[in-house]
Amino acid sequence: MKFGDIVVAVAVIAMVVIIIIPIPKVLLDILLTVNLALSLLILLLSMYTKDILDISVFPSLLLITTLYRMSLNISTTRGILTEGNAGSVIEVFGNFVIQGNIVVGFIIYIIIVIVQFLVITKGSERVAEVAARFTLDAMPGKQMAIDADLNAGLITESEAKKKRKEVQQYADFYGSMDGASKFVKGDAIASILITFVNVLGGFLIGMMSMGLSFSEALQKYVLLTVGNGLVGQIPALLISTATGIIVTRAASESSLGKDLVEQMFGKNPQLLSIVGGVLAFLGIFTPLHFYIVIALIFLLLSYLMKKATKGKEKEESVSVGPTEAEELRRPENVMSLLKVDSIELEFGYGLIPLADVSQGGDLLDRIVMIRRQIAMEMGLVVPIVRLRDNIQLNPNEYVIKIKGVEVSKGEVYFDHYMAMDSGAATGEIEGIDTVEPAFGLPAKWITDKEREKAEVLGYTVVDPPSVIATHLTEIIKQRAYELIGRQEVKSLIDNVKEEYPAVVEEVVPKVLSLGEIEKVLSNLLREQISIRDMVTILETLADYGTVTKDTDLLTEYVRQKLSGYITNRYVENNHLKVVTLDSQVEELIMNSINKSDTGSYLSLEPRKAQTILNNTLKVVKKLTSIGEQPIILTAPIVRLYFKRLTEQLTNDLVVLSYNEIESSVEVQSVGMVSI
């Protein structure tokens, strides 16, 4: 254990021992003085602390100091009742307050107790209770705000962790203060009871055991009781005040004294002039002529504060002006304008409440969940989504940009819901006709009143943030191959290296460069193939990277290794319906593959290519009309080139090779593409 831990542990045990074992009067005087000094120290700490977390031990400190006072109170009570003497400190305090008048001295002591108990302690307890309740209620909102700042790129991951920890610490502190304030309240109640015990018990013992007269016993024990009460109540009053300061003061960058001076006198010096004028009026027209002197003091303070404020503003204008000009002239400031965000979501001013946490908007939280969803499904760490309001857009319009280029847009109504017919709707509803932006389905914008009716009729009803979030998710999935670059690939590889260093060291940079791996991963993402299993991908590249550097061919090898994932994605009940290619079509494509130094490409006559596309489109339309998903199954060497050929029709057509389907799957041909 460290030295400090040992000292604290011994001190706490000693407090308990003091309650049981009588201690010498000299030592008791020293401990009472230390009690007063500690109370002053705690009060000053509460005044000079800028952040409550700087004294996060305050709740525990309250408990320890309360135990300390109780142990001293019991020791002094033992001395008063047994010997009629509790040390010089208590006697001096009693004589100083009583000043020869028992009644006045006792009344002053009672007033101090009432102020301590009913005013400061009770108020501090209530404030601590309310602060704890509001702090705990505000925790979810603060956590959401931190996640929103992280998602918007305003803070880093380490800063977010630090802020989350601070939020938790604030909640723990105020929760502890709510309970610790009960210690101060209990201490005040116990002090009142001990006072009556000392007076009555001492009075009886003095008359019955010590043979004192009524007046002598009253004088002696009231003096000791008042002295004992003051020695205990003054430190308790100081600590209660410190508790009140802690729980009523918000976090600040300066001390309490500086804040008081600046906020009371420095912000509005003219208010001091008004106070001075009122006091001067009262001093002139009433017998209270000394008010004039006080009025002059207030007017002088007002003049000095105005002068100081003008001087400060002048210094700021002189110092800040050239600095800002120099900053603008620096060439590196232009560099920040060249940065292009990977993903941007711009929206009109009518949609600002969707992203404003203070107005109940949860769009930022949905974007955080989108990033998590894409990471789970696609294995891609989506870059920070930058949210911006754009006054050039229509109020209800939003735009999605990828690397500064607009790729999609949509329109939502903030106070409406989107109702879509999933095929099971049985009636008509009133609303504004629209198109669901993610999948292009017909829909209607309906009011809140129509929502329940739409749900009863079988419509799928979603709120505006869900519409935007779904649209953004689909765009990210479609454009995932554009969002991965060499830096993102390096981050993914570094993540794998932590657990599988041998795999990474074999591939990078001995076999393939980061750029070549990026092309393979981009090819996979282009066809919605997850790259989450990076270990399998890198192992496959290690196996075939020494044979060929053609990234298209390496992509096919990786797809074949991921056959389990591809099978699970497209196969249901171990049965797969596919469209095959006629042998003539496959042979024609194979004979049209040309290889060059930069890779291989398909060189097909335009007339034959158009014929293949037309026949493919007929088969696809036939399958979609009966509710079947069109999947083209080809030979491995043909798959990539046929997929690129069909991209002229649509990017959504699934093209698989025989090697990408598990052997246990039952494949059924429901159509054929021929020439």
Q: Are residues 656 and 583 in the same domain?
A: yes
Is 286 found in the same domain as 238? no
Classified as helix, coil or strand, 394 is coil
pLDDT given at position 409: 93
Does 314 share its domain with 207?
no
Dump pLDDT digits (tens) for 3-28: 667 888 888 888 888 878 888 888 88
Tokens 């998602």 appear where? 151
User: Is 152 part of any domain?
Assistant: no
Residues 6+ apart with CB under 8 A from 646: 613, 616, 632, 653, 655
Domain-located, residue 538: yes
352 and 302 in a common domain: no
Cα distance between residue 641 and residue 639, in whole Å: 6
Amino acid 255: pLDDT: 59
Catalogue the E-assigned strands of 412-569. Answer: 417-421, 432-435, 442-446, 459-462
Whether 154 is covered by a domain: the verdict is: no
Exposed, middle or buried, 429 (CB in 10 Å: 0-12/13-18/19+)?
A: middle
- Report the alpha-carbon distance of residue 592 to residue 571 in Å, rounded: 31
- What is residue 84's three-state secondary structure? coil
Is 220 in the same domain as 85?
yes
For residue 675, CA distances in Å to 243, 594, 608, 620, 638 come to 88, 21, 8, 15, 16
Say if residues 640 and 556 touch (Cβ distance below 8 Å). yes
Both tokens of 119, joined, read 């005013």
The CATH code of the domain that includes 394 is 3.40.30.60
Q: Please check whether residue 236 is in contact with residue 188, taking contact to mean a CB–CB distance below 8 angstroms.
A: yes
Nearest to 429 by CA among 451, 408, 409, 412: 451
Same domain flag for 310 and 417? no
Of 661, 595, 609, 614, give the one whose Cα is nearest residue 634.
661
In a domain, 553, yes or no: yes
Pairing of strands 575-581, 593-596: unpaired
Angle at 52 between CA 51 and CA 58, to 5 degrees: 150
- According to DSSP, the residues that pair with 179 across neighbouring strands are none
Within a domain: 555 = yes
Residue 389: what are its φ and ψ, rounded to 5°? Answer: -90, 145
Residue 315 and residue 252 in one domain: no
How, if at all, do strands 631-634 and 654-657 pair?
parallel
Going by C-beta distance under 8 Å and a sequence separation of 6 or more, which residues neighbour residue 275?
295, 298
**Cis ω on the peptide bond leading into residue 509 (within 30° of 0)?**
yes
142: Cβ–Cβ under 8 A, 6 or more apart, which residues? Answer: 167
Alpha-carbon span 420 to 294, nearest angstrom: 75
Note whether 191 and 47 are within 8 A (CB). Answer: no
**Listed residue (355, 367, 348, 365) closest to 473, CA to CA:** 367
Average pLDDT taken over every residue of the chain: 82
| Residue 599 domain boundaries | 574-675
Q: Which residues does the chain have with pLDDT short of 50?
A: 1, 251, 319-322, 328
CB within 8 Å of 208: residues ≥ 6 apart: none
pLDDT score at 51:
73
Together in a domain, 241 and 312: no
Asked, for residue 567, whether it belongs to a domain, the answer is no
The CATH number of the domain holding residue 532 is 1.10.8.540
Q: What is the DSSP letter of 628?
A: P
Residue 244 lies in a domain: yes
Cα–Cα distance, 302 to 359 (Å, whole number): 41
Rounded-to-integer distance, Cα 281 and Cα 277, Å: 6
Q: How far apart are CA 630 and CA 632, in angstroms?
A: 7
Identify whether residues 586 and 548 lie together within a single domain: no
Tens digit of each residue's pLDDT (9 = 90 or more) over 45-76: 877 777 777 777 878 887 888 888 888 878 87
Q: Which of 455, 481, 507 is the last residue of a domain?
A: 481
Task: Find out whether 632 and 646 touch, Cβ atoms under 8 Å.
Answer: yes
* Same domain, residue pair 604 and 555: no
- The residue with tokens 């024990």 is 221
Q: Last residue of a domain, which of 540, 561, 582?
A: 561
466 contact partners, CB below 8 Å, separation of at least 6:
366
Q: Which two tokens stand for residue 33?
A: 């003085």
- The DSSP letter of residue 398 is E
Q: How many domains does the chain have?
A: 5
Query: Final residue of a domain: which of 481, 515, 537?
Result: 481
pLDDT the model gives residue 461? 92
Domain check: are 112 and 31 in the same one?
A: yes
Domain check: are 290 and 251 in the same one? no
Residue for token pair 């804040």? 259
Residue at 127 is within a domain: no
